Amino acid sequence: MSGRTLYDKIWDEHVVHTEEDGTAILYIDRHLLHEVTSPQAFEGLELAARKVWRLSANLAVSDHNVPTTDRSAGIADPVSRLQVETLDRNCDRFGITQFKMHDKRQGIVHVIGPEQGATLPGMTVVCGDSHTSTHGAFGALAHGIGTSEVEHVLATQTLLAKKAKNMRVVVEGQLPKGCSAKDIVLAIIGKIGTAGGTGYTIEFAGSAIRALSMEGRMTVCNMAIEAGARAGLVAVDETTLQYVKGRPFAPTGAEWDQAVAYWRTLHSDPDAHWDAVVELDAAQIRPQVTWGTSPEMVVSIEDRVPDPEKEKDPVKRNAMERALQYMDLEPNKPMQDIFIDKVFIGSCTNSRIEDLREAANVVRRMGGRVAANVKLAMVVPGSGLVKEQAEREGLHEVFRAAGFEWREPGCSMCLAMNADRLEPGERCASTSNRNFEGRQGAGGRTHLVSPAMAAAAAIEGRFVDVRRLV
């Protein structure tokens, strides 16, 4: 028998039963909830008069609809308020642990899980949210589920699932100065496309991944879903254990030692079978900027906007033309000549302390202020605790002094469910993960970049090569 991948190992450890056709019942260790995808699930439970199977496995937080400005007067928008209040009521009624809006542990669900130690190596982690892939950075099998599955997990602590294939993305070598995890994952998506990982669970491996902090690994796994895979994984190592140790939900004492002994086995065996392998040279990666309406429409800051005329595939050409029209960009325009209206530093991709440090460092180095053509540059920490840490380090002062707005934690302008949005035609340098039409507000134009690139764009008013500045 050949060895097993990390994915195989976690899967095997959680299968309760497998049908002839491969459909399996998986035990779920951790279930995270937010206000958008849970209301009908709770309603379903109530109608069936069922209870939550294992209360302690659940952790809830409101993130998509919370305001990022002063919250003392509550939520002005009635739709947003209703969603947040509904989650509060459901958690109170069913007895689920929740960080409410005024709790400093509140934040984006994919930031607070790891921060609290609620996400641990070897776990199965699900949430009614596609970016649950983030938690795979811990060597956990983590993916998004739909609302009916949220109800199923609440009621049974299990999920019906089919096993995916194994893909290994190996990134070897040293990342150039000024580049970060976001550039790695955008470069991967640029290479394999947004459907490249469809049907696979991706394990990210290689020396460049090993060298990343947990924050960086989370950034990479976060966008596994944009590469087409529901789940992304990174093997457990010392970096993982160091990060987890001492967190509120993490085991302690003898239980910690026992857990660590098991966690150290959470890596793929050398003779494991891979259905697909993709390789990237980290040294060749440059700061990435998307130019279109899909994360795979990405080039480096040294490049120009691609020319559809050079694309032979008519379907692709058509998509390029449409994207350029929506983005209001001319083919062959140097990326460095693209001027922006707004900057968003935040989202579950890039709102952790390291991301904010990376952005603040660029602002410090560059000196000066947010460019006159930039109407709004905002920094939205991923959680209240990230915000507190950043303030202890004085990062908020760096941002504020340069003219950035320093906000309260939440999803914010990543998807514009709250008041933070682009106006029609506005162009944004954004550290988030999705750039489809209207994602940040109807008619808004999104360019996905790293925190360093977003910060530099804010000061220059256009995209610049951050490697020159660090």
Tell me the binding residues for [4Fe-4S] cluster: 348, 411, 414
Contact by Cβ (8 Å): 36, 146:
no
Contact 287, 301 (CB under 8 A): yes
Interface segment toward ligand IPM; rule CB under 6 A; list 123-131, 162-170, 189-197, 334-342: 123-131
180-201 burial string, b = 16+ CB within 10 Å, else e?
bbbbbbbbbbbebbbebbeebb
Distance CA 252, CA 246 (A): 8
- Please give the radius of gyration of the chain, using alpha carbons only, rounded to the nearest integer: 21
Instruction: Identify the residue among 348, 366, 378, 385 touching ligand SF4 (CB under 6 A).
Output: 348
Q: How far apart are CA 167 and CA 204, in angstroms?
A: 9
Give bridge partners of residue 25 from the DSSP assignment: 17, 160
Of 228, 423, 283, nearest to 341 (Cα)? 423
β-pairing verdict for 158-161 and 24-27 = antiparallel
Task: Give, as ranges, the residues between 374 and 433 that touch ligand IPM (CB under 6 A).
Answer: 415
Fill in the per-residue mask, 144 to 163: x = in contact with ligand IPM (CB under 6 A), - = not in contact. x-------------------
In the complex with ligand SF4, the residue whose CB is nearer, 298 or 411, is 411
| Residue 58 interacting partner from ligand SF4, ligand IPM, none (CB closer than 5 to 8 Å by kind) | none
The greatest distance separating any two alpha carbons of the chain, rounded to the nearest whole angstrom, comes to: 64
Beta carbons within 8 Å of 6's beta carbon, 6+ residues apart: 139, 203, 233, 235, 266, 267, 268
Q: Is 293 in the site for ligand IPM (CB under 6 A)?
A: no
Task: Say if residues 275 and 165 touch (Cβ distance below 8 Å).
Answer: yes
Contact partner, 126, from ligand IPM, ligand SF4, none, Cβ < 5-8 Å per class: none
- 64 part of the interface to ligand IPM, by CB under 6 A: yes
Q: Which is nearer to ligand IPM, 91 or 266 (CB)?
A: 91
Q: If binding means CB under 6 A, how many residues of this protein chain bind ligand IPM?
A: 8
**Among 31, 30, 138, 38, CA closest to 83:** 38
Nearest to ligand SF4 of 62, 432 (CB atom): 432
Of ligand IPM, ligand SF4, none, which one does residue 90 interact with (CB within 5 to 8 Å by kind)? Answer: none
Q: 3-class SS at 263? A: helix
Instruction: Give 268 or 347: the residue with its C-beta nearer to ligand SF4.
Output: 347
Selected from 9, 14, 30, 64, the binder of ligand SF4 by CB under 6 A is: 64
Using rule CB under 6 A, residue 129 touches ligand SF4: yes
Compare residues 133 and 201 and give the one whose CB is closer to ligand IPM: 133
Q: Report the partner that residue 37 touches, choosing among ligand IPM, ligand SF4, none (CB closer than 5 to 8 A by kind).
A: ligand IPM
- For ligand SF4, the binding residues in 421-450 under the rule CB under 6 A are 432-433
Residues 16-55 that bind ligand IPM (CB under 6 A): 36-37
Minimum Å distance from CB 410 to ligand SF4?
A: 8
Does position 143 interact with ligand IPM (CB under 6 A)? The reply is no
- Min separation Cβ 218 and ligand SF4, Å: 11
Closest CA to 197 of 234, 169, 227: 227
413 scored as a contact of ligand SF4 (CB under 6 A): no
Q: Which stretch binds ligand IPM (CB under 6 A): 40-48, 126-134, 148-156, 242-250?
A: 126-134
Neighbours of 283 (CB within 10 A): 12
In the complex, minimum distance from the CB of residue 426 to ligand SF4, in angstroms, rounded to a whole number: 18
Q: In this chain, which residue has its C-beta nearest to ligand IPM?
A: 130
CA angle 250, 255, 256 (to 5 degrees): 55
What is the rounded distance in angstroms from the CA atom of residue 411 to the CA atom of residue 380?
8
**Interface with ligand SF4 (CB under 6 A), residue from 140, 244, 414, 454:** 414
3-state helix/strand/coil string of 296-320: CCEEECCCECCCHHHCCCHHHHHHH
- The contact set with ligand IPM (CB under 6 A) reads 36-37, 64, 129-131, 144, 415
Binding site for ligand SF4 (CB under 6 A): 63-64, 108, 110, 129, 131, 347-348, 411, 414-415, 432-433
